[in-house]
A = this chain, B = another copy of it.
């Protein structure tokens, strides 16, 4: 009888994170200070992040040690299983060999705590007692609440008002782990009060929530800011996923032909593919395809521009060079809240620009169709975000059926959909809407890109 899961022992949890910056053929474009137009310095970032994370952000070291305290917490759910999707292969009638790396076993239900725990650790070590962050649908906020709780730190989460009202479960999860979660805009910051004065019924936005969390961090003693995606150190922490997956595939005697994941800010899929991208950069896996999937409602890579832009709507962050739809772009209300970000991790954009990555965008009805078929074959209910990647796996597996090729396809399966069942309900009832994004709308949003760095 064949194995379904490839399981590693706790001893095989990576002891180091992998830093792609050591292996890039040309370095990442610098992060720019919007006021000076010059590259930012560590001191510029010091009010927001602890020095250890700022160092990781710019480090050129290939391997960075994972602190034992962090590894010890990883053991609550890591190593995560790598599944061979035999039932799904059969359902698709494909000769392809499909694997998925399943991050949904963590307490918050996704890959997010891989970095939340590390960020809480470094902040605690440098004397912080409290972290402030923003969250959309709540996946990141609940993970940081989880991480802070384990290091006895306070955690304040500014949650986009519309999600706060519509999706109370993630908020309750945060409170159960001892965090404070308020709807954004909130009366707790000047930014929030200003918005509320103009529009007491504002439903908020991620950009607004970021501005509140940043203000909170710089105005409270012992408090720093924490971000759940996009930045280099966040992607670095997530490489435990890919390092484990690589070892697991070795155990299975396979190496991927295609790896597929979804990208919102990019941290989950980058965490998965970076150790494989290294092989491609070094020329040992020249034919490896790395496919990023996004939503047609927020197609940063497939339709955005590679330009310097702000990370938030209120223009309070440094400027990052990234594929962006413009910091004022407001995506349609798709269920994959984690894919509704105007920009993209600079590391992903750089590799995309170098031709290392492919990208494809999907509508949500085709995505949920694939997710339901996956759930019926493999049991687990995907979150709407990785459901986009599942759709791409289906497409590639069906191509294998036509060509007769037994390709090895590996899916980065970032989290469960237990708090997204209303989306499944909508899909099954035929009430789910697709959003065609007019070119004019993108052009309009791109008009306000800052004039920095080209």
Question: Could you tell me if A381 and B1 are in contact, using CB atoms closer than 8 angstroms?
Answer: no
Instruction: In the complex, identify which listed stretch (A3-11, A33-41, A215-223) lies at the interface while the others stay far away.
Output: A3-11
Question: Could you tell me if B10 and A75 are in contact, using CB atoms closer than 8 angstroms?
Answer: no
Question: Could you tell me if A107 and B379 are in contact, using CB atoms closer than 8 angstroms?
Answer: yes
**Contacts A1-B68, A10-B3, A10-B5; is A421 near B173 (CB within 8 Å)?**
yes
Question: Could you tell me if A7 and B4 are in contact, using CB atoms closer than 8 angstroms?
Answer: no
With beta carbons under 8 angstroms apart, the residue of B172, B372, B418 that contacts A425 is: B172
Question: Could you tell me if A176 and B75 are in contact, using CB atoms closer than 8 angstroms?
Answer: no
Question: Could you tell me if A75 and B5 are in contact, using CB atoms closer than 8 angstroms?
Answer: yes
Q: Which residues of B contact A75 (CB under 8 A)?
A: 3-5
A175 at the A/B interface (Cβ < 8 Å)?
A: yes
For A, the interface residue count at a CB cutoff of 8 angstroms equals: 44
Task: Report Cα–Cα, A24/B238, bound state, in Å.
Answer: 52
Question: Could you tell me if A4 and B76 are in contact, using CB atoms closer than 8 angstroms?
Answer: yes
Q: Which residues of B contact A419 (CB under 8 A)?
A: 418
A146 at the A/B interface (Cβ < 8 Å)?
A: yes
Task: Report Cα–Cα, A177/B105, bound state, in Å.
Answer: 20
A128 at the A/B interface (Cβ < 8 Å)?
A: no
With beta carbons under 8 angstroms apart, the residue of B1, B176, B372 that contacts A71 is: B1
A149 at the A/B interface (Cβ < 8 Å)?
A: yes
Question: Could you tell me if A176 and B428 are in contact, using CB atoms closer than 8 angstroms?
Answer: yes
Task: Report Cα–Cα, A419/B77, bound state, in Å.
Answer: 20
Task: Report Cα–Cα, A177/B4, bound state, in Å.
Answer: 20
Q: Which residues of B contact A422 (CB under 8 A)?
A: 168-169, 172
Q: Which residues of B contact A178 (CB under 8 A)?
A: 376
In the complex formed, the residue of B with least CB distance to A71 is B1
Q: Which residues of B contact A3 (CB under 8 A)?
A: 10, 75
Question: Could you tell me if B7 and A9 are in contact, using CB atoms closer than 8 angstroms?
Answer: yes
Task: Report Cα–Cα, A33/B380, bound state, in Å.
Answer: 41
**Can you list the 4 inter-chain pairs with the closest CB atoms, starting with the nearest?**
A107-B379, A4-B75, A172-B421, A418-B418
18 contacts between A and B (CB under 8 A): A4-B10, A4-B75, A76-B83, A76-B379, A87-B150, A105-B105, A107-B379, A168-B421, A169-B421, A169-B422, A173-B421, A175-B425, A175-B428, A176-B372, A176-B381, A176-B421, A177-B375, A418-B419
